[in-house]
Amino acid sequence: MSSCCRAKLRIERCDFINNKDRNILPSSTTIRKVIVPSSIACGSVCSAERTCCYASFDRKTKQCNLDQSCCPQSEFLKDALMMKKSTVSLSCQNGWIQYETKCYFFSDSERSWNDAKIICENKDGMLAEVKSSCEKDFLKTTATAFALSFWLGGTDIQNEGDWIWTSSQTVVTFDDWTVDAPNNRFGNEHCLAIRKLNGFQWNDDDCSSSFRFICEKEIYIMDHGKDPHVKVENS
């Protein structure tokens, strides 16, 4: 495990869990690619990037790939190094559940999709956007424990069949649709839910239906006795 200090992030230490001979593949969760002189420099760039969870460094090309997913797509590549950022003193607010570098809120009330979106935004978050199989498994497992259906942040209301994540306005490239979904069965199913009756796989539903909902937001840090709900920010 390597470590570095980044005062700009108001975190005492950033540890990196190394995985040899693995390289991150380009995907919708890629932040950017940069050329740096060493793996230590690559780790420093990831530390300074608030949304970076994983980085990989190719010793031959000196390319550093930054990824916001904590479960990025990767390939075997000799002389490459993958590094997972693990920051100390991370914490979610009460009522939120921590997973990797994000916090999730599973509501205890039912709302329409649009009302759920507004509530999440009022909590400084957004309706959950699923970017990896690891995140999908976490949300499905947690929703199963509640034994209820939940709204996620996907919609094709702008253009039928073109599913996007509403807050980030990015294309849904990873999915977990149930059989025959999405099908817009009644001509008005434009919002994404994980449904109990479908084994908590994805389904397109009428946005005016009332379900519980899942919000997500960036993780918070405990900062030397200060307000524990200060968001991680670059200076």
- Cα 105 from Cα 54, distance rounded (Å): 24
Q: What is the pTM of this model?
A: 0.68
**Domain 90-218, architecture per CATH:** Roll (3.10)
Q: What residue has token string 């307000």?
A: 227
State how beta strands 220-221 and 230-231 pair.
antiparallel
* The pLDDT value given to residue 11: 33
Decide yes or no: CATH 3.50.4.10 for domain 2-87.
yes
* The pLDDT value given to residue 28: 85
* The pLDDT value given to residue 139: 94
Per-residue pLDDT band at 92 (split at 50, 70, 90): confident
Mean pLDDT of the chain: 84
Same fold, 2-87 and 90-218: no
CA distances from 1 to 14, 18, 19, 85, 151 (A): 10, 6, 10, 10, 38
Neighbours of 128 (CB within 10 A): 27
Q: Measuring CA to CA, which residue among 208, 219, 86 is closest to residue 151?
A: 208
Task: Report yes or no: 10 and 90 within 8 Å, Cβ to Cβ.
Answer: no
Per-residue pLDDT band at 225 (split at 50, 70, 90): very low
Any idea where the domains of the chain sit in the sequence? 2-87, 90-218
